[in-house]
């Protein structure tokens, strides 16, 4: 069965995480994604370990980091700094629908591989550029990394304990969100192209994405003029909505409305709390957070985490455990939803991967290939798409323009 984007070919010139995440999403949706890498080293994240991926046969392959964002792609190793390599890229652009790149602003122009140059040879091209700060503005030429963007973009100012150090999120969340925005934008541009016949340039920056993803925290500030602070695991607009210590661990209590609060108080043996004027509505509970939370904390400590999970589930009060990753992949719901899959790798046999969360009814995602080894598909792609083979292929290899896996 063909994927939803099986008619689309993507030339992925990106590396690290944001661009490759977008490319992997498009590959999961069925697009043919050709990952162009530097001969010799390839994507930097191939060596970002330990840990390195261990296959079913005990052999190790690339870093687990690389495997997180490059499933389902073909790897072609081309030296774009060479004239011959640039011509190969241009030839591939002619037969591609999308280019993904995350070079510094102007970085590809010196090779003739920028949007303005490539749209002349393929006017239908969708060209997505991902940078730290965007294609224009006073910081456009600065390099941007997820950690520093989480700080500059305000995410760290609302993450962490109130009296502790501002904290980043435990994964490179801005990179991941930028990849998701990029995949969405590419698909929107492809739909537009269906109507107009014209391609376009997509300009995405990590900083813009971080600001946009502040969601209610950003609009809270815009509405009030007051910068929200750090609340640890608490919520700025809902109370009680945070983590609490239990008799043997912790639990997340996520009370979303007044009825749920009433039911929680009944289970906790303190129904009178829900009747007190100061706590009757969410608005009141937010205003009186500092009075309510100390009353709830000793109640939660009286029972184990599992006891609370069972009792609150019975009355429909949202709650949950704080799992380690080992516990995550043992969760019955996660197992049922098949969020761990096994992929075939050329060197390491079968390797694990985290499934895509999107479930299509008519074009289900097919997990056919693990992230490729460097240059694994160089010969195949150049032969099938550009009719380069035999002596011409050997010459390119001998000159160092391409590398075969």
Assess whether 175 carries a catalytic annotation.
yes
If phi > 0 it is left, if psi is from -120 to 50 it is alpha, else beta; for residue 30 that is: left
At 200, which helix (H) or strand (E)?
strand 200-205
- Residue 195's φ and ψ, nearest 5 degrees, are -85, -35
Neighbours of 109 (CB within 10 A): 13
Task: Give the angle 93-99-100 at the CA atoms, nearest 5°.
Answer: 150
At 148, which helix (H) or strand (E)?
helix 146-152
- Residue 229's φ and ψ, nearest 5 degrees, are -105, -170
Alpha-carbon gap, residue 166 to 110, rounded angstroms: 40
Strand 319-320 versus strand 52-54 pairing type = unpaired
Alpha-carbon gap, residue 15 to 89, rounded angstroms: 16
- Residue 117's φ and ψ, nearest 5 degrees, are -75, -45
Alpha-carbon gap, residue 84 to 321, rounded angstroms: 56
The single residue of 114, 175, 203, 208 carrying the catalytic annotation is: 175
Q: From 10, 7, 75, 79, select the one nearest 380 (Cα to Cα).
A: 75
Counting every residue written for the chain, the total comes to 405
Catalytic residues: 175
């Amino acid at each position: 069965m063909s994927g939803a984007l099986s008619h689309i070919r993507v030339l992925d010139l990106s590396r690290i995480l944001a661009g490759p995440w977008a490319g992997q999403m498009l590959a999961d949706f069925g697009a043919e994604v050709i990952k162009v890498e530097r001969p010799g080293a390839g994507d930097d994240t191939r060596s970002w370990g330990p840990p390195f991926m261990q296959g079913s046969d005990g052999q190790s392959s690339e870093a687990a980091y690389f495997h997180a964002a490059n499933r389902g792609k073909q790897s072609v190793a081309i030296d774009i700094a060479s004239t011959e390599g640039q011509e190969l890229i241009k030839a591939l652009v002619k037969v591609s629908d999308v280019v993904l790149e995350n070079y510094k602003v102007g970085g590809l122009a010196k090779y003739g591989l920028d949007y303005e140059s490539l749209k002349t040879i393929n006017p239908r091209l969708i060209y997505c550029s991902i940078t730290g700060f965007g294609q224009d503005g006073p910081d456009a030429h600065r390099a941007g990394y997820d950690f520093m963007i989480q700080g500059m973009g305000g995410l760290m100012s609302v993450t962490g304990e109130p009296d502790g150090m501002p904290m980043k999120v435990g994964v490179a969340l801005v990179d991941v969100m930028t990849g998701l925005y990029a995949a969405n934008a590419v698909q929107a541009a492809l739909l537009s192209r269906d109507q107009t016949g014209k391609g376009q340039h997509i300009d995405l920056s990590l900083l813009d994405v971080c600001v946009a993803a502040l969601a209610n925290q950003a609009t809270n500030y815009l509405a009030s003029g007051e910068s929200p602070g750090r609340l640890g695991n608490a919520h700025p607009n809902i109370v009680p909505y945070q983590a609490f210590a239990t008799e043997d661990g912790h639990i997340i209590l996520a009370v979303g409305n007044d009825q749920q609060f009433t039911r929680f108080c009944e289970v906790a043996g303190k129904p009178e709390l829900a009747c007190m004027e100061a706590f009757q509505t969410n608005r009141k509970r937010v205003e009186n957070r500092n009075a309510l939370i100390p009353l709830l904390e000793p109640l939660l400590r009286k029972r184990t985490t599992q006891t609370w999970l069972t009792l609150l589930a019975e009355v429909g009060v949202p709650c949950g455990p704080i799992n380690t990753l080992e516990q995550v992949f043992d969760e019955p719901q996660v197992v049922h939803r098949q969020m761990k899959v096994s992929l075939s790798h050329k060197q390491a046999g079968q390797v694990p991967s985290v499934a895509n969360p999107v479930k299509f009814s008519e074009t289900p995602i097919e997990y056919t290939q693990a992230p490729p080894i460097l240059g694994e598909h160089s010969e195949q792609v150049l032969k099938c798409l550009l009719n380069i083979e035999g002596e011409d292929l050997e010459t390119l290899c001998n000159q160092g323009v391409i590398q075969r896996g």
